Amino acid sequence: MNRAQNKTFEWRWLGQVNFADALKMQEEIVARKREQRLAPDELLMLEHESVYTIGRTPDQTSLLDPEKLPYPLFTINRGGQATYHGPGQLMGYPIVDLRRCGQDLHRYLRWLEQTLIEFLAGYEISATQREGLTGVWVDNRKIASIGVGVRHWITMHGFALNVCGDLSPFAHIVPCGISNVTMTSMAKEIGKPLEVVDVARQFEKRMRAKFRELRNQEAQMLSR
C-alpha cells in the first residue's frame, strides 16, 4: 500500500480490493471522521474485482435481468442506477468532510467532475460534463461514472474512471440508467496501453491541487 499525506489530505493506493472490504474501510473512516472533526480527508484509490452496484432505489430496471448477472451485485448507499466495476478501472473514493467545504453536495459533484475533466486533458482526452447527467463524457461516450453517498456531511463512494480493460460487462446492465450509452476508456481514446496504478499516481497530484481549491472556495464563502 502506498500512502502520502499532509495535515488535511491523505492519499492511499490499495491495489485490487474486493468490494465488501473497500466498503467496510470507507465506513470505518467515515465513522472516525464524524468523531474526529480535524481528521484529514482521504482519497482511497484502488481496483475492484468484478462487481455490479446499484443505489438504494425502488427502480431496478437498469439491472435488466439480475439473475443472469455474471458477477455479484451490491446495493449501496449512493445515488444512481446500476454500474459495473472491475479490473482496468480506477476507483476513487474521496472521503471528505463537507462541513469544511460548504455543505453543498451539488457543488462537490461538479467539482469532482471538473477534476476528472482537467486530469483527462493531461492525456489529450477532451472530456466534458453533460447537462442533467452526472459523470464525465468524451463526445457521447461515457468514460467516468460518479456516485456519492453522504453520512452526516461526510462523503463516501466516488468515481470510477475507465482506464483500460474489458468493457463488455457493461452490456449486462443499463449503465447508470442511461439507455444506449456507449462506454469508453482512456486506453481506447488515446490508442495506447495504460496501467491503472500509473494513472492513479498521476491523478493524486491533480486531486491534491484541486482539493486545495475546494477548501479555498469554502474559505472565500465564509469571508463574505
Report yes or no: 40 and 9 within 8 Å, Cβ to Cβ. yes
Position 149, amino acid: G
Query: pLDDT for 105-117, tens place per residue?
Result: 999 999 999 999 9
Is residue 85 within 8 A of residue 48, CB to CB? The reply is: yes
Which of 208, 209, 222, 200 lies closest to 89 in space, CA to CA? Answer: 200
CA 152, CA 37: separation in Å to the nearest integer?
11
Q: Give the tens place of pLDDT for each residue, 31-51.
A: 999 999 889 999 999 999 999
In this structure, is the dihedral angle defined by the CA atoms of residues 120, 121, 124 and 127, taken in order, positive or negative?
A: positive
Superfamily of domain 2-223: Bira Bifunctional Protein; Domain 2 (3.30.930.10)
Amino acid 58 reads: P
Q: Indicate the burial class of 56 (C-beta count within 10 angstroms; 0-12, 13-18, 19 or more).
A: exposed
User: If you ran DSSP here, which 8-state letter would residue 221 be given?
Assistant: H
The residue type at 152: H
Cβ neighbours, 10 Å, residue 53: 23
Reported as a single tens digit per residue, the pLDDT across 183-193 is: 999 999 999 99
**Each residue of 58-110: pLDDT tens digit?**
778 899 898 899 999 998 888 778 999 999 999 999 999 998 888 899 999 99
Residue 83 near residue 30, CB atoms below 8 Å: no
Task: Please count the other Cβ atoms lying within 10 Å of the Cβ belonging to residue 27.
Answer: 15
Q: Which residues participate in catalysis according to the annotation? A: 176
Q: CA-CA distance, 217 to 211, in Å (whole number)?
A: 10
Cβ atoms 130, 109 nearer than 8 A: no
- Mean pLDDT to the nearest integer, 147-157: 92
Residues 124, 129, 130, 135, CA torsion sign: positive
CA distances from 151 to 22, 49, 138, 203 (A): 17, 26, 31, 25
Q: How far is CA 171 from CA 35, 62, 70, 181, 194, in A?
A: 42, 11, 11, 10, 23
Q: Taking phi first (over 0 means left), then psi (-120 to 50 degrees means alpha), and beta for anything else, what does residue 55 get?
A: beta
Which pLDDT tens digit goes with each residue over 129-139? Answer: 999 899 999 99
